[in-house]
Amino acid sequence: MQRNGQAVKTVCDVLAQRFGGQFQTSTSLREQHAHTMTYIASQLPDAVLFARSTDDVQQAVQVCATHGVAVIPFGTGTSLEGNVNAPYGGISIDLSHMNRVLKVSTDDLDCTVEAGCTREELNDYLRDTGLFFPIDPGANASLGGMAATRASGTNAVRYGTMRDNVVNVTAVMADGKIVHTAQRAKKTSAGYDLTRLLVGSEGTLGVITQLTLRLYGIPEKVMAGVCQFGDVDAACRTTIAAIQAGIPVARIELLDALQMEMVNRYSNLSHAHQPTLFLEFHGSENSVGEQAEFFQALAEEAGGSKIAWAEKQEDRNRLWKARHDAFHAALAWRPGAKGVPTDACVPISRLAECVEETRRDVEALGLIAPIVGHVGDGNFHVLPLVMMEDADEVSRMETMVKRLAERAIAMDGTCTGEHGIGQGKMKYMALEHGHGWEVMSAIKRALDPGNILNPGKVVHF
């Protein structure tokens, strides 16, 4: 795709006349809608449309399709692989004002929301219903964006990822048609699974405007805790043993020794600077106690500490806030450095090996790069802290990221468990998927022949 300046001007004139103040071209707004939390350079859209309805999105896409101008969906901008960049210019469609909860069905354990609704807004709305939505990627991301990148997070080991919890999406396709991918039934064998096709497509196949999501009952008892180990291998082996034993852990997060030191300083905690598992169990009073006792026994077999428990909600919130603040804790550790978050996911039987090889690689390359992970499903993150003006350090970081992706794929894993492909990891798609990547490209060409939907991401056109 090439940017056509005259076509862009025509589209901007039409949309400005049609949408008035909802349509903006200021440089500051355009910069906000191209920011990326990686070292990938920002590429600005030509304008930003603040959509307020599916009809707004449909009208904008139809105008852009007529003139061959790119459309880049935007939720909250928390994606990590350049997913919201505009390499060919175009119109960023900001969905943040589409944040209504449209329907909650307590009997069916589901709800329908607009794409700009965030996970925290939804759970605030659900507070008095006895239900909650469990997917928690850390950031207060929009639910449409979470579906588009197939997000997961700390609760995925028990509740699954967005792939498992999206029942239906409403999306505007490249030709402006509105598609509803499924009904609300719990299962179907009627045709292709369009919901799963759009979940994880990162806005390259359609602009998601509404979602129907699965909900869960708030558990009777919640217990969180911290367990520390002499090395990463022992922590990983305990995790694997717990999963294989069928302990229904709700959350199980690994922080390596360096990350624990950073978190202690930033969040004013006093844990030892050792590899640490942050845990949480959900269930009845009796079942949670049994789960905790069983996990403690497995941890002690691997040399783990006694678990320090947090049962009061405020104590649990403080504990998990410290985990979610790990990124900010790392940035504060090395002022002036850019954090370059990357992730990989492997079968849990290879987790300890992959984490240890990655840790050795980080040391050999002379990088400062703490490791955290949603280790219950084999997913972990590495955060190199890089002085971007140091070309040699940037090169060493790129070497580490490349080796991590290739290592995970060689272990029957994936180059990204939840960050998505965007621009940053397209280079690994052929290695991971082989001819399957060609099939993805064929789907893209069939559904978006003009290549207007988030071009330059996920697949080659």
Per-residue model confidence as pLDDT tens digits over 21-66: 999 999 999 999 997 777 788 999 999 999 999 999 999 999 999 9
Cβ 116 vs Cβ 142: under 8 Å: yes
Listed residue (406, 342, 328, 331) closest to 371, CA to CA:
342
- Going by C-alpha positions, the residue among 138, 85, 147, 137 that lies closest to residue 116 is 147
Structure tokens at 44: 């600005």
Residue 40 is predicted with a pLDDT of: 86
Q: Which CATH architecture has domain 334-418?
A: 2-Layer Sandwich (3.30)
Domain 101-217, CATH number (from 3.10.50.30, 3.30.200.20, 1.10.940.10, 3.30.465.10): 3.30.465.10
Mean pLDDT of 131-149: 95
Domains 221-328 and 334-418 share a fold: yes
Question: What gap in Å lies between CA 295 and CA 307, rounded to an integer?
Answer: 9
Task: Name the token pair of 301.
Answer: 């077999």
Q: Which of 19, 11, 50, 61 is nearest to 177 (CA)?
A: 61
Distance CA 110, CA 202 (A): 23
Would you say residue 192 has pLDDT above 90? yes
Mean local confidence (pLDDT), 216-241: 94
Relative to beta strand 91-94, strand 47-50 is: parallel
Average pLDDT over residues 400-427: 96
Residue 123 CA to residue 128 CA, distance in Å, equals: 10
* 83-111 confidence digits (pLDDT tens): 999 999 999 999 999 999 999 999 999 99
Q: Worst-scoring range by mean pLDDT, 26-40, 363-377, 387-401?
A: 26-40
What is the band of 300 on the pLDDT scale with cuts at 50, 70, 90? very high
Quote the pTM value.
0.94
| Contact present, 232 and 254 (Cβ < 8 Å) | yes
Q: Which of 302, 157, 295 is nearest to 229 (CA)?
A: 302
Length of the chain: 461
What average pLDDT score do residues 122-128 get?
96
Question: Would the pLDDT of 205 be above 90?
Answer: yes
- pLDDT per position as a tens digit, 235-268: 999 999 999 999 999 999 999 999 999 999 999 9
Q: What is the mean pLDDT of residues 288-293?
A: 93
Half-sphere exposure at residue 389, Cβ-oriented, CA atoms within 13 angstroms: 2
Pick the CATH number of 5-96 from 3.30.43.10, 3.40.50.300, 3.40.50.620, 3.50.50.100: 3.30.43.10
- Rg (the chain; Cα; Å): 22
pLDDT above 70 covers a percentage of the chain that reads 100
**CA 122 → CA 138, 214, 248, distances in Å?**
15, 12, 25
Would you list the domain boundaries of the chain?
5-96, 101-217, 221-328, 334-418
pLDDT in the model for residue 324: 87
Residue 143 has pLDDT above 80, yes or no: yes
Rounded to the nearest integer, the mean pLDDT of the chain is 95
Task: Using alpha carbons, select from 110, 179, 168 the residue that is nearest to residue 144.
Answer: 168
User: Residue 74 — very low, low, confident or very high, per pLDDT cuts 50/70/90?
Assistant: very high
Residue-level pLDDT at 416: 96
> Which pLDDT belongs to residue 272?
94
Cα distance between residue 403 and residue 397, in whole Å: 10
CA 388 – CA 334 distance, rounded (Å): 12
CA distances to 175, 230, 234, 287, 330 from 262, rounded to whole Å, are 49, 18, 21, 34, 6
Give the pLDDT score at 359: 94
DSSP class per residue in 206-245: EEEEEEEEE-EEPPSEEEEEEEE-SSHHHHHHHHHHHHHT
Q: Please state which of the ranges 24-38, 221-235, 364-378, 398-412 shows the lowest mean pLDDT.
A: 24-38
The DSSP bridge partners found for residue 373 are 254, 380
Torsion angle in degrees (nearest 10) through CA of 401, 403, 404, 407: 160
Query: What is residue 461's predicted lDDT score, i.e. its pLDDT?
Result: 81
Annotation: CATH topology of 221-328: Alpha-Beta Plaits (3.30.70)
Q: Which two tokens stand for residue 425?
A: 């990891």
